[in-house]
Amino acid sequence: MRIGELAARAGTTTRALRYYESRGLLAARRDARGYRTYGEEDLRLLRQIRTLQNAGFGLEETRPFVECLRAGHPTGDSCPASLEVYREKLAELDAHIARLSAVRELVRERLADADAGAAADSAPAPPPAPRCALWPA
């Protein structure tokens, strides 16, 4: 299939495919007229790349998965290098979650403090103390 068909089937652009090719993730063959041609295996590689990118993996992080598929493994995550990328991504996500949880707690505390301050500011003033007419203030 040609580059346009591959892009359409994979839900991406021809520009992206050329970029993947320049990065060594996708290898095009050329037909007699010099047009790029691709096979079903290329679509499989591209789907692996797109799935990982949609999950937040950077393009270079997809490389071990692509290499695993090219090596003939049934899935891109059945090689030790791919598993290591998963471990690294999981640690990265855990660190992000911890930072976001800390920020969330800070915001929650600040909101509670602000709500308490606003409630105190908007409380009605206590009535004046009764005054005795016999004793001037």
Q: What is the largest CA-CA distance in the chain?
A: 115
Structural domains of the chain ordered from first start: 3-116 (1.10.1660.10)
Average pLDDT estimate for 95-116:
94
Specify the pLDDT at position 55. 95
Instruction: Name which residue leads in pLDDT, 66 or 126.
Output: 66
Could you read off the pLDDT of 28-73 as tens digits, one per residue? Answer: 899 999 999 999 999 999 999 999 999 999 999 999 999 999 999 9
- pLDDT-based confidence at residue 136 (cuts at 50, 70, 90): low
- Spell 68-104 as b/e; 16+ CB within 10 A means b: bbeeeeeebbebeebeebeeebeeeeeeeeeeeeeee
- pLDDT-based confidence at residue 117 (cuts at 50, 70, 90): confident
Answer whether residue 16 shows pLDDT above 70: yes
The angle, 0 to 180 degrees and rounded to 10, between the axes of the packed helices 80-122 and 63-70 is 150
- pLDDT-based confidence at residue 123 (cuts at 50, 70, 90): low
Answer whether residue 128 shows pLDDT above 80: no
Specify the pLDDT at position 133. 67
CB 62 within 8 A of CB 25: yes
Average pLDDT estimate for 108-124:
82
Specify the pLDDT at position 98. 95
- pLDDT-based confidence at residue 131 (cuts at 50, 70, 90): confident
